[in-house]
Structure 1
C-alpha cells in the first residue's frame, strides 16, 4: 500500500482504492487507476503518450492522443485540488506527462 500523510493522497494498489487529501474515497475507473498508479510508481519520470499507451493499455491498443488527453483531464478533475493548475499529474510540454516527484 502506498500511504501518505493526511495532507496528501492515498493510493492502494491492492484494493485499487484512492483517497483524496481529506481522506475521502474517490471512484476511479480501472484505466484511470492504472494510469495514476503507473505514473505514481515512477515519480518524476517523464513518459511520452506512446509510452503510457504501451505501459497502461498494452501494445494492442491503437494510440489516439486525444483519448489519453481526455483520460488525463478526467483524472485531474477527480484528484487535483484545482484541475486547471495540477500539482500531481503534470504535463511536460512537447513530451508527455509525469507524476510530480515532490508530492508524496
Structure 2
C-alpha cells in the first residue's frame, strides 16, 4: 500500500509565514486530503496543470510527489505526451526534460537506499 508522503514544511515560511501556513495547513493539510480524489489522482491533475501552465519551478517537486503517490514513469510520460496536443509542444518538451531529471534523481535515491 502506498502512503502519501508527508508534506514538507513550506520553504518560504521564514519570509512569508502566512503563505507558509496556508501551504502547510490548507493546501497540503486540507485540499490534498479531501476524499474525492486519491493522492495519486491529485498528483496527475496537478502535474497536468503545471505542464499546461508552463510552471517549470513547481514541476520537479510535484513530479517527484507523483512518483511517491504511485504514478509510474510511463504514466507521467504518457500524460505529458497527451498534453503536447492540448497545452502545446514547448510546455510538453520542457516537461519531458524535467521528468528525465526527476526520474534520474528518483532512481539514484532508490539505488542509494
TM-score (norm 2): 0.32
More strand by share: 1
TM-score (norm 1): 0.34
CA radius of gyration, larger in: 2
More helix by share: 2
